[in-house]
Amino acid sequence: MELVLADLQWVTCLVYLDDIIIFGRTFNEHLVRLDEVLQKLCQANLKVKPAKCHLFADQVQYLGHIISAEGVAVDPAKTEVVQAWPEPVNVREVWSFVGLASYYRRFVSGFAELARPLHKLTEKGVSFKWTQECQTAFQTLKDKLVSAPILTFPDPGQTFILDTDASDVAIGAILSQKIDGFEKVVAYASRALSRQEKNYATTKKELLAVVHFTSYFRHYLLGRRFLLRTDHSSLRWLHNFSQPEGQLACWLEQLAQFDYEIEHRPGKKHVNADSLSRRPIQPASLTCTDERNLTNEQEGGNVNVSRVVSSVVSAEASQGATAQLNCSSIEEASRQNYTSVQEHVQEFTLSAACHVQEEQVEDWDLAGAQEEDADIQKLKHMKVTGNKEE
């Protein structure tokens, strides 16, 4: 069927297997397009069954969705199934519910974050235990799907707006367009972070969200200029790197194929994409004892302390809190780049080898893009003790 209607696909009709949707803005336009499709079918010696044809309808049920002039909505028949879904009693039933809900994830903002407790139940080696957290996630997803919004049709003549955001456990995005003076959602998207990605610095997580969702919505964004909005101001300096290396270079190369303008929007105004949960910040202080004079060891470069500390602190110790470094031997060197690092530390001891290779410092931070990013050459026996403020 797609071969027969290949020259009409996406122009006058949509084809999926043996289902055909013919669309038009006016009644006369619809008649002309209907005639074009029927002629193509006749030329291929194909017949249609009148009983299965719905002509001149204002809306149509298609692949679990309701398509109308207003946009795309979830099929009420499917939401009734979701609403009546009983509480899962085993992993197989959890998979079934999550699978059905995931089909409509484009209608739910922050789906990955909401479904995270249910996904945990399906992980290998995890015993099935239905907790209150699982029940809350289960009921929230049901409520979200029942009250899912109508998504607007994308308009190629209007500018796309991509809002991205990241949290400690997931990344999310909203694709929208401003139509008739109002921003209307085209689609929601989100995914959970892997175990390795959870260890990324905040800025790196935010950049990951940009890279992932520009690729996810590539069919909408490629070849046209769009607005990229983020609540992380450091991403405005993406184009200022003169010699990016490693993963950063790969990501910037991937973003280079898109034509976009970056706009920083404060978190208070970025509520549409910032629906993922945030933990409150608790201050902590760090006392640093340096056993060797790092200034003499470092030849002419600034010691970027935050890159070293962030790269070795475990994910369990990192909760997004703000800590102040007080170290006399490196205070002057670090002041030019950072005066604080965002880490929540209860108590730990750090010992590093003499030569810290660049690939070992995974936690590069884009926030220092405006200033010189010094390479770390040597680090010897640095003891860090954290005292959590009560």
3-class secondary-structure state, position 183? strand
Q: At 18, is the secondary structure helix, strand, or coil?
A: coil
Higher pLDDT among residues 31 and 234, named by residue: 31
- What mean pLDDT do residues 225-240 have? 83
pLDDT in tens, 352-367: 333 334 444 344 444 4
Give the pLDDT band of residue 198 (cuts 50, 70, 90). very high
Task: Determine the Cα–Cα distance for residues 162 and 260; give it in Å rounded to an integer.
Answer: 10
Fold of 160-269: Nucleotidyltransferase; domain 5 (3.30.420)
Is the confidence at residue 302, as pLDDT, over 80? no
**Distance in angstroms (rounded) separating the CA atoms of residues 315 and 225:** 37
CB environment 142-172: b (16+ within 10 A), e (fewer): bebbeebbebbebeeeeebbbbbbbbbebbb
Helix, coil or strand: residue 209: helix
- More confidently predicted of 90 and 235: 90
Sequential DSSP letters for 22-72: E--SSHHHHHHHHHHHHHHHHHTT----GGG---S-SEEEETTEEEESS-E
Pick 33 or 340 by higher pLDDT: 33
| pLDDT value at 257 more than 50 | yes
Q: State the Cα angle at 69 between 67 and 75, rounded to 5°.
A: 25
Which residues partner with 130 through β-bridges? none
| pLDDT at residue number 266 | 65
For the chain, the domains span 1-57, 74-146, 160-269, 284-388
pLDDT at 13 over 50: yes
Q: DSSP secondary-structure letter at 158?
A: S
Is the distance from CB of 246 to CB of 358 less than 8 angstroms? yes
Q: What is the pLDDT of residue 178?
A: 92
Q: What is the secondary structure of 129-157 as a DSSP string?
A: ---HHHHHHHHHHHHHHHTPPPBPPP-TT
**Of all residues in the chain, what percent carry a pLDDT higher than 70?**
68
Whether this prediction's pTM lies above 0.95 is answered by no
pLDDT of residue 267: 55
Averaged pLDDT of the chain: 75
287, 326 Cβ separation under 8 angstroms: yes
Q: Between β-strands 170-179 and 19-22, what pairing exists: parallel, antiparallel or unpaired?
A: unpaired
- The yes-or-no verdict on residue 379 having pLDDT over 50 is no
Residue 105 has a pLDDT of 92
Task: Please state which architecture CATH assigns to domain 74-146.
Answer: 2-Layer Sandwich (3.30)
pLDDT in tens, 72-121: 999 999 888 888 999 999 999 999 999 999 999 999 988 999 999 999 99
